[in-house]
Structure 1
C-alpha cells in the first residue's frame, strides 16, 4: 500500500502526457484498504491540494470519511470530477452539492484539464492562505482581546493606584501641614502645660485626639480618664539614643484605635516634642544660670560694668545702677559715675588705673553751713579693667570694677597715725623712765634746800618755784607712764574720775595751745569716786579729745574753734560731755571713736554721738554753728 505523498491525487489513471503535473495515482482499493484497516493517524491521508476522481469514486461509502480527513488536514482541498455524458445529471448535482466540486470535466485529455488543475491548486493555496490569515487574525484578535483585558485591568489598577496615591498625597499634605503647625506650636510654647494644650488643639481636627499628655521624670501620673474608654498611644521621648526624657501620650475614643500610619505620624511629632523639651530644659538652665550670675553680679558691693570700646555701658550690677541713678545701659560710664563730659584723664581700658575727683557736698552741709559745702571733699577710685572677647568676630569688651578707696585711704592714714602714736608712746615711756630718776634726785635736793632755808630768805620763793616745776614734771612723767602701762597691769580700783579727765586734758594741752584752740572745762570741785580702770578710762577720754582736736583742726582753720569738756555728777553715775565745732558727727569715722566706745561699754556705760545745731536753721545766719556732742555715761559702781 502506497502512502499519500503528493499534493495532487488522482483516482483516475493519468495519461502519460500529464506526467509533468506531478500527480500521484491512487486506487480506490488503496483508499478502501487505508480506511477499512483503520491505520494510525500517521498512515492516514496526508493533506493534499487537489483530488481527481470519477462519480463512482465519490459515491463510495468510505469516501465521505476520507474526504472529511482531507478537509480536516487541508480545508482548501479541491475536487475535480471527470464525468461522461452517460452520467446522470441529478447524480452529478448531488455530488456537487455534497462536496463542492471545483470543476467538472468530460475527459482528462481536454486542453483545459491542465489549467483546471493549476486553478484548483491555486484555489487550494488561496483558501489555505485565507485560513492561515484567518487563524492569524483570530489569534491576533484573541491576543488583542487578552491585551485589552490586561490593559483594562491595568487601567483599573492604575486608576485605583492613582486614587490611592492622590488620597495618600492629600493625607501626606494635610499631615505635613499638621506636622508643621504642631512643630511651630510646640517650639513657641513656654512650658510643658502650654505645649500639651497647643498640641491638643492642633491634633483635635486631624486625628480626633482628645488629649495630649507629656510625662517627664518629675511626673508619674497618667491622665485620670478610664483606660477602657480611651485609645492610648504612648511614645518614648529620647534626648540622645539612650537618655530617656519622658513619654508623650495621645488619647482619643476607644472606638477609633490608632493605625500604623498614625503611629508613624505621632512618632514624628514626638521627635519635635523631644527637641522642644530639650530647648525648654536648656532655656531653664540658661535662665537659672543667668539669675545666679546676675545675683552674684549684684552681690558685689562695688560698681561693676561691661564697657564697650566707646565707653558705653553694656551690662552693670545694682551697685552701678544705684550710683548712676538713671538708665545705665547704652550710656557713657564717665557720665553716669563721675558727671564728666569726656573720658577720665587717666582712664586706660584693659588695665588698672586710679582717678581722683571732687565729691558733691552733703545735703546736711548745705542746710547747716554753706561755706563748708562750698569746699568739696575729694574721692579716690581704683578702677580694675580687664579685656573680654567672647567671639573673635565681635569687638572687645571691658570688665570694669570701680572701688571707692577714699575711706580705705582715710583708715590707712588713721592707722599710720595710730602707729605713730604707739611709737611715740613707746618713746615717751622710755623718756619717762629715763627722766623719772633724775627728777627724783632734783626734787630731793630742792626739798632739802627748802628745809635748810627760812621763809624770810630772799631765795626761798625761787626754791618754791623750783619745787613746783619739778612736781609738774613728775606729774607729766607719771601720766606718760600711766598711758604706756599694760592693761593687764591696770587693776580695777576706786579712784577720782577727775584724775582720768586731767590726764587726758594734759596730753592735748600743748597741741591746743600751739594751734590756738580754746579748751573749756566744767569739772566739779569735789571728788568724783568711781570704780574701774584708771588707765583705760584715761585712754578713752584722750582718744575722744584727740579726735575732737583733729576734727577742729580740719574744719578750715576757724578762728572760733573750741573744745568743751563738761563733767556732771549724778547720784548713781557720772556723765561726761565732749563738744567741738569741727567736722561734725557724720565726718568722724576715725578709729579712736570705736576704741573709746569699746572701753566705755566694757565699764557697763553708754556711749552716744550726736550733732546739735546752734544759731537757728537759716543757712545765711552768721551765728549758725554745728556742735558734735559725745556723751559718756559711767556708773559709779560696777
Structure 2
C-alpha cells in the first residue's frame, strides 16, 4: 500500500490525485520488475550452480568446439583448456559413444539457441560408461566360459570312449609282441601319446564340471528340465533328434541340487545321442526320438512320496555289459547316488532304452 499525507489536512486536488496515480503505477511497475529480476537472478544462480556441480561432464561449445562454458567434471575428465576435443564417432547434435582420454563416454549433444546470441551453440553431456562396459565384457566372458565348459565337456565325452578302446587295443598289442620286436618302440610311443590325450580329456572334464554343489533347494522340475533341453537344443538339431515332453507333473517342485540335476540330464542326453548315432550305422533309422515324462513313481510306494523322471529313446539294444561300462551311465549313476537318487535302466520294447531317475519328495 502507498499512502500520501497532506500536512494542512486539506483535500487533495484533482491534479494531485492524478499525480499520485502515476507515481503508484510507476512504483508498481518497478516493484514487479524488481521481483522478476530477483526471481530471474535466483533461477540463473540455481541453474549456474546446478551446471557447475553436475556430476557428469557438461560443456557449451560452438561449431568449432570452442568452450563457452563448462563444469568442473568436464575440466577434470575431458579437457581443461579453451578447446573441447572434436568428436570422432559422431557429430554435434547427435547421440553416440566416444572414447576420450582412454575412457568410454556416452555423448548426448543438443543444439541450443540464445535470443541475444546469433551464434549456434551446442550443450554436450558426457556420461562415463567405462565401468559399465567393463562389466558387460566380464558378463560376456562369463557366458563364453559357460559355453566353453559345455563344449569342452561334449568334446571330452566324445573322445573318452573311443580313446579308451584305442588304449586297450594298443596295450593288448604290446602284450602280444615279442620282446625283441622292432614294433615295440612304435607301440610304446603310441601308448604314451594316447595316455597324454587321456590326461587332456580328464583335464577338460575337470574344467567343465561345476564344483559348487551347495545349491540344494526347492525347484520346479519342469523348469530345470526345460533349461537343460535349451542348452542341448542345437546338438539335437544337428543329430536330427526330436524331443517329446509328455510330463504329467508340470508344476511339480522337489528338493534338488540344481547343479547335480543339470549334470545328470547332461549325462542322460549324451548317452542317448551316442546310442542313436551308433544305432543309425546298423539300421535304417533316420530320426532319433527321446520321450520325457515326470510322473509319480508307482513302483516305489512307501511312507515317502517318490517321483520318477523317465526318458525313453529309440536307440537300439543295451546289454548288461554296457550298463557297467558306458561312461555316461557310470557318471550318471554316481551323480544321482551323491544326491540320494537312483537310476533304473530298462528295455520297454525292442530297440528302445528307458532311463528312469527316482527322486524322493521329502
TM-score class, shorter-chain normalisation, is 0.3 to 0.5
Higher relative contact order structure (alpha carbons within 8 Å, sequence separation ≥ 6): 2
Q: TM-score, normalised by structure 2?
A: 0.41
TM value normalised by structure 1: 0.26
Bigger proportion of residues as strand: 2
